[in-house]
Structure 1
Amino acid sequence: MYVQEGDLKYLSGFGSEFSSEDPRCPNSLPKGQNNPQKCPYNLYSEQLSGTAFTAPRESNRRSWLYRIRPSVLHVPFKPLTSVNSDKILANFATLPAEPNQMRWFPFEAPKPDDGLDFVSGLKTVCGAGDVITRNGVGIYVYGCNLSMENSAFYSADGDFLIVPELGTLKITTEFGKMVVSPGEICVIQQGMRFAVCVDGPTRGYALEVFGTHFVLPVLGPIGANGLANPRDFLHPTACYDDKVGEYKIVAKFQGKLFSAVQNHCPFDVVAWHGNYTPYKYNLTSFMTINTVSFDHCDPSIFTVLTAPSVKPGVAIADFVIFPPRWSVAEHTFRPPYYHRNCMSEFMGLIKGSYEAKEEGFRPGGATLHQIMTPHGPDAQCFEGASNANLSPVRVADGTMAFMFESSFNLAVLPWALETANRDLKYHECWAGLKSHFNEQEQ
């Protein structure tokens, strides 16, 4: 049985301590120490560390798992050859440069005969950096119609932020279970094993960050409240499975897939405590901040989660959403302004239609605007917004667009450049923009 919203616990703050016991085994958490000589119920203790042991206390992340068998109990890993092996990539330096604006019509959902689970349906669209030195990002799309039976997946390379667009994901993790539907997101952090079950065709997006973890953005002058509130993030509760039999563990390591076999279920954690957990978030809980006077604010006001770099104020990646909201700015061109940016912007659409591009940008599709590549509203949007009545108006009702924004210059994989659903006429959406210059007018 998969837990629903009420069965998850609030992740009341990033860095806070949490704990959970499967109710079938009360008092399974050791009292007073992490690693007793013998754990309750004769469990094994195992620490999962998400940061260096010596990281400062406020940023140190680790959890203790009390499990029936330790995760070390498997045969050696071997390279995994599957239908998407050539589409999972981390050596981005070898790819050709592509500075043009790019758009993709909806990526194809799997057909009944495809038989793809989450791992075999995962494909890298673009990325940058290096998984070996652990500094970079990978952006993926996934399409699957099979559940992961007797198998689990984990990434040794980084954290996965998963954004469903079509179909609900039933995710089992070592920490418990989560149901993640379109309009929600989840984060499975580095090293955490999980399996995805689905009911029919599913599709979505994923962002992986190497070498850091997602945190809530600093609010600064916004104050104590706003954007994504800590209390709205949920973590799973312990729910062990003691099945025995052959299970396949798939690892993403240095950008490549490997598999190993073990003779027991990997989700056999009876209890856990710590601050390094998977979690989910409902995007409708986001408290939007916006202008109530004039001008169009920078999209950073819509940041849900950020993965900071070592340079203050610069992110390896941000996860940004554009939710329904009121637009009330006076004397203002209200849609996004035309701009060139020192960040790369990959946008996806979960539902509805995006205000700056009503045509062509569809749920399940994407756009990519590289560093310093100009972009902005299409010609139709510009003409409409330039002459609109500026009464207060609702924006993006029935819509949820998002953006993976990165300070890295992203390289695009060959399959994504060559796929039939790439819109090679994307640039034409700006072709109708014409000069309105009149030197006599002030």
Structure 2
Amino acid sequence: MAYYRQVGEVPPKRHIQFRDLEGRLYYEELMGEEGFSSDSALLYHRGVPSAIVASELWELPDQGTAPNHPLKPRHLRLHALQTGDCAVTGRRLVLGNADVRIAYAVTGTSASALYRNGTGDECVFVESGSGTVQTVFGSVDYRTGDYVVVPRATTHRWVPAEPSRLYAIESNSHIAPPKRYLSRYGQLLEHAPYSERDLYGPTSPLLVEGEDVEVLVKHRAGGRVVGTRMTYASHPFDVVGWDGCLYPYTFNVEDFMPITGKIHQPPPVHQVFEGHRFVVCNFLPRKVDYHPLSVPVPYYHSNVDSDEVMFYVGGDYEARKGSGIGLGSISLHPGGYAHGPQPSAIEASLGAERFDESAVMVDTFAPLDLGEAALEAEDPAYAWSWASDRAGRGAESQ
């Protein structure tokens, strides 16, 4: 996020001596994207940030996937899943491909393990709950409806104030506002549905003492996602100050200003973030189309280049009435398959002036495979819901 911040103490120039009151030198660390050629931050540590004393295997939860074959739409009931109570180790893999993975966790009120994702940025949507994410940059508070964006390789931990439902979008790239929302220098433009005022980053350093501190690291090895448990000589939360344009932040859906039109608007107007070969959109309570002959629910469409994943988090989703989908549901509509509203929802929507619905959508440009959680949480009747009078025949043909 190319929006400059300074938190805590930093020296007047980069890469010069910076000492504490006793004359001890702080250790400068550059966190930078794209090999010194993109957004970065300079952090000033009390301890040596690379001083590890142990490195051991961390066995990740099941990361196996199965292809969506034979091809069909899927309905996954996430609220039916049992997860561990840790925001990190309790995650269960729902969907994934080589570009992005979607996982789900329901936390208790205990702090998670210290953790960083070395494969890419994370964008975690808070379905419900509140708490704090503590990071090397400082703390950010979270609440229901927040996206918590954590840059790649940021050591952090989740500290829930109450049980929280977390929908984790783990990328193999960076996650940022869409380029069309940004000026050539990175400022959010007037036509963007949110602005820098809506982004909340750390405001003060977080200093924690400690020795022999374990950090769980997710990274790639041998072409797959694996885990390592690193032990640091001193606590990673020892940064007295930092500045730059790379840091964690939160953005709440209440601060997204939906764009509406005279006729039905396509999903790109609802986009909030993008990564490499995927996008994140949110559909929120809004006024709908005002043409006298408008059809407010979406038209049938074939996303020939992408899979569409919709996570239903609030309200009453008009287009899916009669399908069995409710709060906590995911619909997966794969590329190569035409999808759209349930037939009864089209007539029912005519004349509507407002929709009260909230959903988070991830569109990917490579097919998504099914994680172990998807296979457990699937509603097998969903695929036949557009032809409900012939549901039995559809089920027999599986």
Kindly indicate whether residue 17 of structure 2 is the aligned counterpart of residue 30 of structure 1. no
The one-letter code of the counterpart of 1:280 is: T
Partner residue of 1:47 out of 30, 53, 59: 30
Does the C-alpha gap of structure 1 residues 264 and 364 become closer, same or farther in structure 2, counting only changes over 3 Å? farther
2 CA distance for matches of 1:64 and 1:183?
30
2 CA distance for matches of 1:86 and 1:161?
19
1 CA distance for matches of 2:389 and 2:298?
15
Q: CA deviation at 1:238?
A: 2.8
Partner of 1:312: none
Contact 2:175 2:273 in 1 (8 A): no
Q: CA deviation at 1:109?
A: 6.3
Partner residue of 2:41 out of 35, 57, 63: 63
Contact 1:238 1:272 in 2 (8 A): no
Partner of 1:7: none
Q: CA deviation at 1:223?
A: 7.2
1 CA distance for matches of 2:240 and 2:354?
48
The one-letter code of the counterpart of 1:19 is: Q
Q: CA deviation at 1:324?
A: 1.0
1 CA distance for matches of 2:137 and 2:154?
9
After TM superposition, the structure 1 = structure 2 runs for residues 270-349 of structure 1, keeping only pairs within 5 Å, are 270-292=240-262, 294=263, 296-307=264-275, 309=276, 316-327=277-288, 328-341=290-303, 342-349=305-312
List runs of 5+ in structure 2 lacking aligned partners.
Answer: 183-187, 391-398
Does the C-alpha gap of structure 1 residues 418 and 50 become closer, same or farther in structure 2, counting only changes over 3 Å? same
Contact 2:306 2:367 in 1 (8 A): yes
After TM superposition, the structure 1 = structure 2 runs for residues 40-439 of structure 1, keeping only pairs within 5 Å, are 40-41=20-21, 42=24, 43-53=26-36, 55=37, 60-81=38-59, 85-88=60-63, 95=67, 97-108=69-80, 116-129=85-98, 136-148=99-111, 151-219=113-181, 224-254=190-220, 255-292=225-262, 294=263, 296-307=264-275, 309=276, 316-327=277-288, 328-341=290-303, 342-359=305-322, 360-385=324-349, 388=350, 390=351, 393-396=353-356, 399-413=357-371, 415-419=372-376, 421-432=377-388
Does the C-alpha gap of structure 1 residues 95 and 79 become closer, same or farther in structure 2, counting only changes over 3 Å? farther
Partner of 2:4: 17
Does the C-alpha gap of structure 1 residues 433 and 179 become closer, same or farther in structure 2, counting only changes over 3 Å? farther
Q: CA deviation at 1:423?
A: 0.5
Taking structure 1 as the reference length, the TM-score comes to 0.79
Taking structure 2 as the reference length, the TM-score comes to 0.87
Deviations 1:383-427 (A, max 9, x none): 423xx3x2x61212xx321101111211112x23430x3110012
Contact 1:39 1:45 in 2 (8 A): no
- When the two chains are superposed, the root-mean-square deviation of aligned CA atoms in Å is 2.4
**Aligned with 1:142: secondary structure?**
strand
Deviates more, 1:251-260 or 1:194-203: 194-203
Does the C-alpha gap of structure 1 residues 39 and 99 become closer, same or farther in structure 2, counting only changes over 3 Å? farther
Q: CA deviation at 1:322?
A: 0.7
Contact 2:103 2:168 in 1 (8 A): yes
1 CA distance for matches of 2:332 and 2:84?
29
The one-letter code of the counterpart of 2:138 is: G
1 CA distance for matches of 2:70 and 2:133?
35
Q: CA deviation at 1:72?
A: 1.2
Q: CA deviation at 1:430?
A: 0.9
| Aligned-residue identity in percent | 22
1 CA distance for matches of 2:190 and 2:85?
44
Q: CA deviation at 1:118?
A: 1.2
Does the C-alpha gap of structure 1 residues 329 and 40 become closer, same or farther in structure 2, counting only changes over 3 Å? farther
Deviations 1:72-122 (A, max 9, x none): 1222321113xxx34235xx6x75645210111233465xxx763111111
1 CA distance for matches of 2:270 and 2:209?
43
Does the C-alpha gap of structure 1 residues 363 and 247 become closer, same or farther in structure 2, counting only changes over 3 Å? farther
The alignment of Structure 1 onto Structure 2 pairs a total of residues equal to 375
Deviates more, 1:116-125 or 1:159-168: 116-125
2 CA distance for matches of 1:146 and 1:249?
20
**Aligned with 2:240: secondary structure?**
strand
1 CA distance for matches of 2:58 and 2:4?
36
2 CA distance for matches of 1:183 and 1:417?
23
The one-letter code of the counterpart of 2:280 is: F
Deviations 1:173-229 (A, max 9, x none): 111111111111110010111100124432221112213332334049x97333122
Partner of 1:25: none
Deviations 1:106-145 (A, max 9, x none): 33465xxx7631111112212222xxxxxx1111112221
Q: CA deviation at 1:364?
A: 2.2
Contact 1:109 1:201 in 2 (8 A): no
Q: CA deviation at 1:236?
A: 1.0
2 CA distance for matches of 1:417 and 1:170?
28
2 CA distance for matches of 1:155 and 1:362?
31
Does the C-alpha gap of structure 1 residues 174 and 225 become closer, same or farther in structure 2, counting only changes over 3 Å? same
